Chains A and B, each alone.
Chain A
Amino acid sequence: MEKMQQIVGRARAAFRSGRSRPLEFRIQQLKALERMVQEKEKEILAALKADLNKCGYNAYSHEILGVLGELALTMEKLPSWAAPQPVKKNLLTMRDEAYIGYEPLGVVLVIGAWNYPFVLVMQPLIGAIAAGNAVVVKPSEVSENTARLVAELLPQYLDKDLYPVVTGGVPETTELLTQRFDHILYTGNTAVGKIVMAAAAKHLTPVTLELGGKSPCYIDKDCDLAVACRRITWGKYMNCGQTCIAPDYILCDPSIQSKVVENIKATLKEFYGEDVKSSPDYERIINQRHFKRILGLMEGQKIAHGGETDEASCFIAPTILTDVSPESKVMEEEIFGPVLPIVPVKSVEEAIEFINGREKPLALYVFSNNKQLIKSVISETSSGGVTGNDVIMHFFLSTLPFGGVGHSGMGAYHGKHSFETFSHRRACLIKDLKMESTNKMR
C-alpha cells in the first residue's frame, strides 16, 4: 500500500497543474461518474447486498437514484453556480468591479460511512469535483464490498491522480489525517468527529462533519395516528435502523402509547409480512459488534413488539420498547438499529424540555394536525434539520442544506450547498488606477 504522503502529494501536484479548474474538465469527470453508475449498476447493487443485505429496489432508490439525481443537477447548474457573483457597491466603489469569485479549495478529503456506503462517498465527491478540487476518497472499511468496488471503479472512470481512493481502517485513516488537506468532509460518529477536527486543527483545515445523535420524534395526540405511524415505521426500520436521520425515539402522551404500538405493528406486517426474517426487503445489522451493541440496549426493557434476534445472520427483528426511562442505556446513545423506544411525556412543553436537555440532534420530527404546535416545536428546539409530519424526507430535497449542529455536526452539503462547501468565496474588488482624487480624502 502506497504511502499516504505520496498519494496526497500526487493529488496536490495534479491540482497545482490547474487541470481540474476548467468547467469543461469538471463536467467531463462528472459525466464519467454518471457513466460509471449506469454501467456498473449491477456491481454496485451486488456490493450493497453483500454489505447490508439491501435488496435491489431499496438499494437503487436509496443510493443510486440519489446519486444520479445529484449528478444531473450539478452538471446542469455548474456554470451558474461557478459564475462570479456581482455584489452591491457603495458610493466610493460605484465605478469599480466588485464581486465574489468561486474558487476551488485545493485537495479535499472525503471520508465515507458504512451505512449508505455508496451515496455517502459519491455525493460529497460530486460536490468536490464540481468545485474544481482534487479529492482523496476514503470509503468505510466496515462496508468492505462497497469499499473494494469504489477503489476498483473510480480509477477506471476518473483522472487517477486527481481522485485517488484510499482504503483501510483506523491506522490508515489516522495516517491519512496527518496529511494537509484544504477541506475534510467526514461522515460518521461524534467521537471520531472530534478526532477528525483535532487533526484538521493542526493544519487549520476547515471541516464538514456529518455526525449523528438521537433524532427525536414527537407525536401529538391530535394527528392521524395511522398515517403518522406508517411514515415513522418506514423511516425507522429502513436499512434496519442504520440511518443517521432515522427517528431514534418517540415522545408521546402515555394515553396514545398503545395505539402507536398497534399502528406500527400493523404497518410492519404490511411492509414485511408475517415473517420479517424471510422478507427480501428487510436488511441486516452490518456486523457482530453492532449486533451485540444493539442487543445490549434492549436489556431490561419492556418489549411491546419484536425482540427476536439471530446472531449468525445479524438479524434483529423490528422492535418497539414502551415506557422507556430517560436514564436507561437505550436512551444514552444513538441506537442505529431497529429498536424504537417510546418515552411517555405529558405535554408538548415537556417534550421540548426533554429535547433541549440533550445534545442537539441531526434531525427532529413532529407529527400534528396543529400547525401552531409544529411551529412551536421547531422554533423552541435546535437540530440539524426538520421534517414535519413525516420522517427522513428533508434529506431528499437538495435545495435544503443537509447537516448537523452541535454534537450532530457542522457544515452542510447537498446540491448547491455542496458546491459552496467545497469552494472558496473570494472577495474581489477591481479599481481603476485613475480617479485618484477621490482617494485624497483618506
Chain B
Amino acid sequence: NPYAGLVSHLRASWLSGKTRPMEYRVAQLEALERFLDDKKQQIMDATASDLGKGPFETELSEILVCKNELHETLNNLSCWMKDEKVDRILAMQLDSAFIRKDPYGVVLIIAPWNYPIQLFLVPLIGAIAAGNCVIVKPSEVSKKTERLVAEALPSYLDKDCFAVVTGGVPETTRLLENKFDYIFFTGTPPVGRIVMTAAAKHLTPVTLELGGKNPCYVSDTCDVTNVARRVAWGRFFNAGQTCIAPDYLLCTLEMQEKLLPALREATNYFYGPNPRESPDFGRIVSDKQFQRLRALLGSGRVAIGGQTDEAERYIAPTVLVDVQPSDPVMQEEIFGPILPMLIITNMDEAIDFINSQERPLAVYAFSSDDKVVNQILERTSSGGFCGNDTLMHVTLPSLPFGGIGNSGLGTHHGKFSFDTFSHLRGCLKRGMGRESLNAPRYPPYSQRKLGLIQATLKVARKSDCTLL
C-alpha cells in the first residue's frame, strides 16, 4: 500500500508522545494561523480560480471562520484538556473519578471542494487540539486550492505528525485501506457509505458531514422583503454550493406571488441586473457540476434568472416555479444557485412533505408567528435548525454542527471538534486502604453482604447525593 509507510511513520510519532503537551499543540495551531495570514492572497487567488469566489466571500467563509475557530480553541484549550471531574456515589466518595481526554492517534480528514480551506482546516484545528497526528486529504476537484495546501501547508506544521495527501478516487480508496484511529469525512451520502464501510474493517470511529435537501418553509405571516433577502443570501452564497443552503422553498400560492418580486429585488440588490458581471457572485466548480445543474433548469418553469454560460461555468441566480416533487430538481441535493418553489396549502402539508424526505442537514422556517416556527422545529428532524434566517446557526461555535440519518453522523465546531477527536476515557483511582469497605462484595456471598452493597452502591429515587 503506497501510504502504509506514511501512516506508520505518523503512528510512531504519536506513540512517541510528541503531540501530547499543550505547548506543542498550541505551537501547531499558531502556525496554522500564520499559514492563513501569510498565504491569504494565494488562498484568495486559488478559491477565485476554483470557484469564482470573490474576496468578500473568501474572507468571510474561508479565512474569518477558520480564525474564529483557532482563537476559540487557543482561548479554551487548557480548559478543554483538563480531566473532567465527575460526581461520585457514596461508595466512592474518597476516590478520584474523572474523564480523561485522550487523543485517538492518527486521524484522517477528507475534505470537499466547496469551502476548500474551511472544510479541512476547521476539523484539522480540532484534531490537533485533541493531540492527534493528522493526514489531510483535500479535494482534487478544487485543483488550485489542493495544490496550494499540498505545497504550502506542510512547511508550517511538524512533518513527523502532519501530512497532506493528494489524489482522486483511486488514491483515496488506497488511503482508506490503512488503519486510522479516526476518520472525518465531509462529502456526499454515497461516498459517506463507502468511507464508513472502509472504516468498519478497522473499527475506526467516524464523523460524516454529509448533505441533503434543506427545506425552507415560509409562512403566510412574514415580512416578505426580509425573508427574500435572507433566503436569497443563503441560497446564492458561493453560487449555491453550500451544504446548509436552503435547497427548496415551501409556501402557499399567495406567498409565492409576494415572494417572487421580493426575491427578484433581493437578487438585483445583491448582484445588480446582470449577476454575471458582479464580482460578488461565484461560479460552478467544474464542468461536470455545471452540466448537472444546467439539466436541473428543465424542472418546472424559470421565474427568475435561468441564464448560463458554459465557458465561465456561470449559472445565474435562478428561481423555479411550478415544480412537482417528482421533478429532477427535487430528486437530488441541488448544490447550485437554483431555488425551486413548491406550493403547499398549509403548514401541516409542509411538515408532512418534509418528513416524507430523508432527514436534512438543516431545516429553515420563516414566520413572524413564533408558534409557527416552533411547530416546524418540533415536528421535523434535522441536523440543525434556524428560524427566520438561513446558514447563521453554523456561525455560533457553541452550537454543534452535524447531520442526522442521511445527512450525517457526529458533530464538530468549537469544543465539539475537540470532543469529537478525543477518546473520553472514564477513570477511577482508588486507594489501597480501607479494604474492609470492599468486604461485602467478596464471596462467600450472603444476604447480609447484599444488604450492605445495596446501601453503598445504590442510587435511590429522589436521592440527594448525586447533584453537584
Show the binding face of A for B, using Cβ within 8 Å.
55, 57-58, 60-61, 65, 68-70, 72-73, 75-76, 87-90, 92-93, 97-98, 100-101, 103, 105-106, 182, 190, 193-194, 197-198, 200-202, 204-206, 209, 211, 223-224, 227-228, 230-231, 234, 270-273, 279-282, 356, 367, 369, 374, 378-380, 382-390, 393-394, 396-403, 405-407, 409-412, 424-434, 436, 439, 442
Contacts and interface: CB of A to CB of B under 8 A. Distances in A.
Contact of B435 (A230, A401, A430): A230
A72 B424 contact: no
Nearest to B411: A425
B229 to A, nearest CB: 7
Contacts of B382: 426
B203 A190 contact: yes
A430 B447 CA distance: 56
Contact of B457 (A65, A75, A87, A197): A65
B383 A399 contact: no
A223 B427 CA distance: 20
12 contacts: A106-B381, A223-B432, A280-B444, A382-B425, A385-B428, A396-B91, A400-B86, A426-B385, A427-B401, A428-B387, A429-B393, A439-B229
Contact of B458 (A69, A105, A424): A69
A431 B222 CA distance: 13
Interface stretch (B27-35, B94-102, B161-169, B330-338): B94-102
Contact of B393 (A227, A231, A428): A428
Contacts of A97: 387
Contact of A431 (B89, B381, B387): B387
A426 B387 CA distance: 13
B445 A436 contact: no
Given A57-B445, A204-B193, A405-B102, A397 B97 contact: yes
Given A390-B430, A405-B425, A65 B458 contact: yes
A65 B409 contact: no
Contacts of B444: 271-273, 279-281
Contacts of A206: 409-410
Interface in B68-115: 86-89, 91-92, 97, 99-100, 102, 104-105
Given A427-B394, A429-B389, 20 more contacts: A55-B445, A72-B461, A89-B398, A198-B197, A201-B193, A204-B193, A228-B432, A234-B438, A386-B429, A387-B430, A388-B427, A393-B430, A397-B426, A400-B426, A400-B428, A412-B424, A412-B426, A430-B370, A431-B386, A439-B226
B259 to A, nearest CB: 14
A244 to B, nearest CB: 14
The 6 closest A-B pairs by CB, nearest first: A400-B426, A201-B196, A197-B200, A57-B445, A427-B384, A399-B86
In the complex, which of the residues B201, B387, B445 has the most CB atoms of chain A within 10 Å of its own CB atom? B445
Nearest to A197: B200
B419 to A, nearest CB: 11
Nearest to A387: B428
A399 B396 contact: no
Contacts of A105: 404
A369 B432 contact: yes
B13 to A, nearest CB: 13
Nearest to B225: A436
A73 B466 contact: yes
B430 A197 contact: no
Contacts of B426: 384-386, 394, 397, 400-403, 412
Contact of B427 (A93, A209, A282, A394): A394
A200 B423 CA distance: 21
B429 A382 contact: no
B397 to A, nearest CB: 8
B184 interface: no
B249 to A, nearest CB: 16
Given A98-B399, A204-B409, A396-B89, A390 B385 contact: no
B288 interface: no
A227 B387 contact: no
A379 B459 CA distance: 31
Contacts of B208: 204
Contact of A65 (B386, B447, B453): B453
A234 B203 contact: no
B452 to A, nearest CB: 10
Contacts of A272: 443-444
Interface residues of B, number: 99
B426 to A, nearest CB: 3
A424 B230 CA distance: 27
Contacts of B427: 378, 385-388, 394, 400
A385 B425 CA distance: 5
B305 interface: no
Nearest to B445: A57
Contact of A405 (B233, B384, B423): B423
B88 A396 contact: no
Contact of B399 (A193, A281, A429): A429
B431 to A, nearest CB: 6
A396 B383 contact: no
Nearest to A402: B426
A394 B100 CA distance: 13
A402 B97 CA distance: 13
Nearest to A92: B395
B181 interface: yes
Interface in B25-73: 60
Contacts of A410: 203, 205
Given A89-B398, A100-B399, A234-B441, A197 B89 contact: no
Nearest to A389: B430
B8 interface: no
B230 A200 contact: no
B413 to A, nearest CB: 9
Contacts of A434: 223, 226
Contacts of B393: 98, 427-429
Nearest to A429: B393
Contacts of B399: 87, 98, 100, 427-429
A386 B229 contact: no
A431 B392 contact: yes
Contacts of B457: 61, 65, 69, 396
B450 A60 contact: yes
B200 A224 contact: no
Contacts of B377: 101, 428, 430
B449 interface: yes
Contacts of B384: 426-429
B459 A69 contact: yes
Nearest to B407: A204
A242 to B, nearest CB: 16
A182 B438 CA distance: 41
Given A197-B199, A393-B430, A87 B424 contact: no
Contacts of B15: 356
A422 to B, nearest CB: 13
A433 B366 contact: yes
